[in-house]
């Protein structure tokens, strides 16, 4: 394949990623209360799977958003009582965000509704397109992430 076709493919890759992200965020946000964002929901899921919690900085690295955005998102999640924020005993500059039982409950309910909404798509596509692309996506994400310094 010619090099220009390769760059073209890379460009289309990122375009498709952008559109899929847009589609799935919109679909998810339709289920979320108020102005809650797909990223905020992702953070909640991340925390539910990590009972020891994480610091805001770890979360902004994981989701690749600026820490100033993270401050805002965590404050919003805390207002909804879906997470708690306490100062880190090991480092008083820092904080620990943890999910609450209500947070886990809320996540579960939303995930179920989302699964229902996605069911037609999944039964049409089957698991293969996801299964086949996931390792490549992970590889690309890791490389982009490592190169960022």
Which residues in this chain contact its own copies in the complex, by CB under 8 A? 1, 6-7, 9-27, 38-39, 42, 45, 62-65, 111, 115, 118, 120-122, 124-125, 127, 129-134, 136-141, 143-145, 147-148
Binding to DNA by CB under 7 A, coded x per residue (else -) over 10-39, reads ---------------xx--x----xxxx-x
**What is the radius of gyration, based on Cα positions, of the chain?**
18
Q: What is the Cα–Cα distance from 46 to 55, expressed in whole angstroms?
A: 12
Q: 57 contacts which partner out of its own copies, DNA, none, CB within 5 to 8 A by kind?
A: DNA
70 binds DNA (CB under 7 A): yes
Residues 6+ apart with CB under 8 A from 109: none
Q: Tell me, by CB under 7 A, how many residues bind DNA.
A: 31
Phi/psi of residue 106, nearest 5 degrees: -60, -45
Q: Is 7 helix (H, G, I), strand (E, B) or coil?
A: helix
């Amino acid at each position: 394949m010619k090099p220009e076709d390769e760059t073209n493919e890379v460009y289309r890759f990122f375009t498709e990623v952008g559109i899929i992200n847009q589609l799935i965020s919109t679909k998810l946000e339709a289920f979320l209360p108020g102005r809650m964002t797909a990223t905020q929901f992702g953070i909640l899921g991340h925390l539910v799977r990590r009972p020891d919690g994480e610091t805001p900085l770890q979360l902004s690295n994981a989701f690749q958003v600026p820490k100033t955005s993270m401050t805002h998102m965590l404050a919003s999640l805390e207002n909804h009582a879906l997470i708690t924020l306490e100062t880190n005993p090991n480092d008083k500059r820092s904080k620990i965000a943890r999910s609450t039982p209500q947070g886990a409950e809320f996540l579960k309910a939303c995930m179920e509704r989302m699964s229902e909404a996605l069911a037609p798509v999944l039964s049409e596509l089957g698991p293969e397109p996801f299964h086949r692309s996931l390792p490549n996506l992970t590889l690309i994400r890791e490389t982009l992430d490592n190169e960022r310094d």
